Chains A and B, each alone.
Chain A
């Protein structure tokens, strides 16, 4: 028994002394790796709203955003062994969420191609016209937004994929250029260029507000 105490990992020791709310992301991950389910629950609790909001602004579909957000955490859980601490955990989880969202958008495009209406739409139409808004009632009263907010959200959701992620990360989520570049695995110059281009496109779509 005495030996067991010495064999406890640093994360376990910290966990036993410090409440999980005060542990860093990396410490929580180490604790999760050693089998502490509460540590992972704390990670989920810490990032669930951020990721859900990010995906909602990316996809403009709340149910889809919640679904992909949950899938993001599942992926994180099963990929923890491969996680390296060279990046911030927030960068890592946003990258997974972005990849899932892009994958979902591709699936949507394929579905759209299969639909009859999609057959008669040109690429130009896709770029300029808004996608039909999600008319379903959102489950939370707080999600009710005014008309301007909905228009902005729809305008963002009609941006091309490569511009949508950078501007959501920058102007909605407030990430730094470096962080965005790391999340999207792009160079810093490319990231800045895309954000600038995305703003130009968005301004064009929302010109009646200017």
Chain B
């Protein structure tokens, strides 16, 4: 410290004493190997790989990218499972349901002319399935609604839809309800849904018939073919509108637990009140 500066600095006696005490503190010195340790540190720094500024960006971007990939995978899985079966929940009022049902096409609108031309009393047919599917129906019951077609479109459980009679739609209520819309998965036909019953839901059977191109609606313990998709296997197999499907593979519809979709599926069909057994090959 500059002596002149020290003398010019005005300090009280206590401050002067304090400064003296601080100045008289014993000075410590660096250890003897100080130089070597400094050199070693410098050498260690020099041998470290040079990190580019991009590395800092990567430290942030890599986890973010990984997170996005994981989230994307989760979203895709959810979408896929939604397509598989009954994952979407829709809240709809009965009024909206009635509106939807009123806009449904009639049977004649749906049935292609080619099907009508092929209609006849004897409807033995073969259906060529593109793949074999094994569906566990024990767990494939999402609801107990007998009117699966109506349920798909949000109809009340106690209000089965008769395409020839729309009077039941008058009971529409504004109370919202949560419904599940089963969607047939063409990529993974093995579908499991939680169910307390061992019996298959008509909804699921309808869904699997759609796989063949059969649009059917529930009619008591059987299914009534409402329309046939043009160009489908059902059309090629001569399945016709108004056919009543009572059994699949010799098992009544209300007793079906498992359906094996493959070539050779038998459908028990009643056509014009004549019961025939049809083998789908």
Instruction: Tell me the chain A residues, 45-103 only, with Cβ under 8 Å from chain B.
Output: 45, 48-49, 51-53, 56-57, 62, 65-66, 69-71, 73-74, 77-78
B22–A70 CB distance below 8 A? no
Contact with A along B24-57 (1 / 0, CB 8 A): 1111111100110111011001000000000000
B1 within 8 A of A: yes
B60 within 8 A of A: no
B170 within 8 A of A: no
Q: State A176–B4 Cα separation when bound (angstroms).
A: 11
Query: A67: shortest Cβ distance to chain B, in Å?
Result: 9
Q: How large is the interface on B (under 10, 10 to 19, 20 to 34, 35 or more residues)?
A: 20 to 34
Contact with A along B3-22 (1 / 0, CB 8 A): 00100000000110111011
A74–B45 CB distance below 8 A? yes
Q: State A170–B6 Cα separation when bound (angstroms).
A: 10
Interface SS, A side: helix
Q: Report the nearest A residue to B25, measured CB to CB.
A: A149
Point out the residues of chain A lying under 8 angstroms from B39, CB to CB: 41
Stretch at the interface among A4-12, A13-21, A136-144: A136-144
Point out the residues of chain B lying under 8 angstroms from A53, CB to CB: 27-29
A152–B21 CB distance below 8 A? yes
B42–A171 CB distance below 8 A? no
Q: State A21–B142 Cα separation when bound (angstroms).
A: 91
B19–A176 CB distance below 8 A? no
Q: Report the nearest B residue to A172, measured CB to CB.
A: B22
Point out the residues of chain B lying under 8 angstroms from A70, CB to CB: 34, 37-38, 41
B23 within 8 A of A: yes
